[in-house]
C-alpha cells in the first residue's frame, strides 16, 4: 500500500488555491520552520462569506495536500461555518492520512482559525478567545 491515498496525492500534485491574496482580509500562519511545516492561509471575505482563499505551505506531501483540501472546504462558505471545519473533516476528505501525519490536518484547521481571528482582529469584531486556542502540541517546540 502506498503511503498516501490517491486523494492526498492528487491534492499534493495539483494543489488547489495556491498563492497569496493582495489585500487579504484575514491571514493565518501556523507551524514553524524548526518542525518542518508552515501553513499560511489568505482569506478574502465579503458579507461574512469566504469569497476567495489562497494558501502557501512549506512542508511535506500531506501538509501541502491538507492545505489544498482545507481551502477547497472553506471556499464560498460563511465564516461561522468554516470555523466548524475540523482536522478530522480534512483528514476524512483526503481519504485518511497516516497516523504520524495527522498533525498536518491539525495545522490546516489551525491555519483557518488563525486567519478568521486575524480578520476579526482587523475589523474589531468581538469574539470568544477560547474558540481560537488550539495549539498544535506537536509543533510548538
Question: Binding other proteins by CB under 8 A: which of 14, 34, 123, 140?
Answer: 34
Find residue 39's DSSP bridge partners: 30, 57
Grid cell of 67 as nine digits: 492545505
38 counts as binding other proteins under rule CB under 8 A? yes
Our CB check for other proteins shows the closer of 67 and 87 to be 67
Which residues, numbered 51-110, are part of the site for other proteins (CB under 8 A)? 56-64, 100-101
Note if 136 is an active site residue.
no
Options 60, 104, 136, 139, the catalytic residue:
104
40 counts as binding other proteins under rule CB under 8 A? yes
Our CB check for other proteins shows the closer of 13 and 122 to be 13
Our CB check for other proteins shows the closer of 45 and 136 to be 136
Q: Biggest alpha carbon distance in the chain?
A: 49
Note if 35 is an active site residue.
yes
Burial level of 16, CB count in 10 A (0-12/13-18/19+)? middle
Distance CA 49, CA 140 (A): 30
CA-nearest of 55, 62, 69, 58 to 24 is: 55
Distance CA 74, CA 91 (A): 14
Q: How far is the CB of 125 from other proteins (least distance, A)?
A: 25
- Strand pairing report for 49-58 and 37-46: antiparallel
Our CB check for other proteins shows the closer of 82 and 97 to be 97
The residues binding other proteins (CB under 8 A) are 9, 12-13, 15, 18-20, 29, 33-40, 56-64, 100-101, 138, 141
Active site residue ranges:
35, 104
Amino acid at each position: 500500500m502506498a503511503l498516501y491515498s490517491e486523494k492526498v496525492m492528487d491534492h499534493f500534485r495539483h494543489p488547489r488555491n495556491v498563492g497569496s491574496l493582495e489585500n487579504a482580509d484575514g491571514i493565518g500562519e501556523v507551524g514553524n520552520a524548526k518542525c518542518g511545516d508552515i501553513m499560511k492561509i489568505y482569506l478574502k471575505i465579503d458579507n461574512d462569506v469566504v469569497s476567495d482563499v489562497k494558501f502557501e505551505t512549506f512542508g511535506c506531501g500531506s501538509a501541502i495536500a491538507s492545505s489544498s483540501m482545507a481551502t477547497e472546504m472553506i471556499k464560498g462558505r460563511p465564516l461561522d461555518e468554516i470555523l466548524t471545519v475540523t482536522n478530522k473533516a480534512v483528514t476524512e476528505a483526503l481519504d485518511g492520512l497516516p497516523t504520524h501525519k495527522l498533525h498536518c490536518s491539525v495545522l490546516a484547521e489551525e491555519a483557518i482559525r488563525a486567519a478568521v481571528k486575524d480578520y476579526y482582529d482587523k475589523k474589531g469584531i468581538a469574539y470568544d478567545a477560547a474558540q481560537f486556542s488550539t495549539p498544535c502540541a506537536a509543533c510548538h517546540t
